[in-house]
Amino acid sequence: MAIVLPRVNLDEPRYDQSTYLNRAKHFLIVTNPLNAFATEEQLDRAARIVRDYRAGKPVPDVSSVDELWSAKYLYDSAFHPDTGEKMLLVGRMSAQVPMNMTITGCMMTFYKSTPAVIFWQWFNQSFNAVVNYTNRSGASPISQEQLLTSYCMATGGALVTALTLNRLVRNAPPLVGRLVPLAAVAAANCINIPLMRIQEIKNGVTLLDKDGKELGQSVRAAKEGISAVTFSRILMAMPGMVFTPVLMNTLEKRGFLRRFPWANAPIQTLFCGLCLTFATPLCCALFSQKASISVDSIEEELRTKLRKERPELDVVYYNKGL
């Protein structure tokens, strides 16, 4: 006989998202790298549990609320919150730490060689393009032409920044040179994220009331959400790309890297992974994924419409993406 579970709202995170600590707790679970190793069978089982529970059907696979939430968080780690589609593995937030630690470690290890700079900046922007497209807000279509344009401009921006700065800091202290990849990543994010989500900037994101009812589309909300995502992505990269150069510069001064040159790449990669394990969820938590915007701040036409139809509304919500 199936256990009857109490009703909980799976459309909202388990922890109240009005506080930073609860958002951090939420994203620590969502971005858990172990979720990236879940099998297709485990993901499909989690999806079935969540969908059956939402539909009021029995869920014999689950015997407690804790198990239900475990399934929900596994579901959230792999399925888009708006479309319900299974996301590409490398685009999921659970893949951020293992992917970024490898890419960042290599960018900072081989920052002096021009061919290596070109390859790793290209590789990083290819990865970022997949992540930004996968985590866009809603079912925002993007043409192949726009996809290619965004990818080329972000990659070009990163390469120009990295190669130009490498030339400028050629005679600077080693620590300054090691910080060049961070500047390139920041510049590329400022190009890549808005361009990969250009349809939201053109057409807006869907605004919802607190009960999830659609109210209309807002370009201003889209711009706020994309700006927040860009800021958090740059901040996410900073700990690994700032503290790692400081560590490596210290090891180089003390002669450690001269004695053990083979340790250069492994140390940078593992230390980046340690930083990203915490920086990823903590930076995602800076802004709630279900973002809010004042009715007074949205477009005049939509604001007038809502004031007439829903005068009690002061704040509306939207998915800002990740």
Among 181-185, 237-241, 292-296, name the one with the lowest average pLDDT.
Answer: 181-185
pLDDT of amino acid 263: 85
Helix 96-109, helix 219-253: angle, nearest 10:
50
Asked if 165 and 194 sit in the same domain, the reply is: yes
Domain assignment of residue 296, yes or no: no
Q: What is the pTM of this model?
A: 0.78
Can you tell me the distance from the alpha carbon of 197 to that of 128, in angstroms, rounded to the nearest whole number? 12
Asked if 44 and 178 sit in the same domain, the reply is: no
Helix (H, G, I), strand (E, B) or coil at 201: helix
Domain carrying residue 75: 20-86
Q: What is the mean pLDDT of residues 41-47?
A: 91
Q: Does the structure show a pLDDT above 50 at 11?
A: yes
Asked if 80 and 139 sit in the same domain, the reply is: no
The more confident residue out of 210 and 146 is 210
The count of domains in the chain is: 2
Asked if 114 and 207 sit in the same domain, the reply is: yes
Residue range 263-309, pLDDT digits in tens: 888 888 899 888 888 898 899 899 888 888 998 888 988 888 888 88
Q: Does the structure show a pLDDT above 50 at 1?
A: no
pLDDT of amino acid 142: 64
Q: Can you read off the two tokens belonging to residue 151? A: 């990818």
Number of other residues whose CB lies within 10 A of the CB of residue 36: 19
Most confident of 53-57, 128-132, 139-143: 53-57
Alpha-carbon torsion angle 297, 23, 273, 116, nearest 10: -10
Helix 264-284, helix 96-109: angle, nearest 10:
140
Asked if 82 and 102 sit in the same domain, the reply is: no
Asked if 173 and 277 sit in the same domain, the reply is: yes
Asked if 204 and 278 sit in the same domain, the reply is: yes
Query: pLDDT-derived band of residue 21, with 50, 70 and 90 as boundaries?
Result: very high
Domain assignment of residue 182, yes or no: yes
Asked if 165 and 57 sit in the same domain, the reply is: no
Asked if 78 and 216 sit in the same domain, the reply is: no
Strands of 315-319's sheet, edge to edge? 214-218, 205-208, 315-319, 290-294
Q: Does the structure show a pLDDT above 60 at 214?
A: yes
Asked if 40 and 151 sit in the same domain, the reply is: no
CB 119 within 8 A of CB 167: no
Asked if 99 and 229 sit in the same domain, the reply is: yes
Can you tell me the distance from the alpha carbon of 228 to that of 288, in angstroms, rounded to the nearest whole number? 10
Q: What is the mean pLDDT of residues 122-137?
A: 77
Domain assignment of residue 228, yes or no: yes
Asked if 36 and 107 sit in the same domain, the reply is: no
Can you tell me the distance from the alpha carbon of 20 to that of 171, in angstroms, rounded to the nearest whole number? 43
pLDDT of amino acid 20: 92
Can you tell me the distance from the alpha carbon of 244 to that of 184, in angstroms, rounded to the nearest whole number? 16
Q: What is the mean pLDDT of residues 103-108?
A: 84
pLDDT of amino acid 141: 59
- Percentage of residues in the chain having pLDDT higher than 70: 96
Q: What is the mean pLDDT of residues 195-220?
A: 86
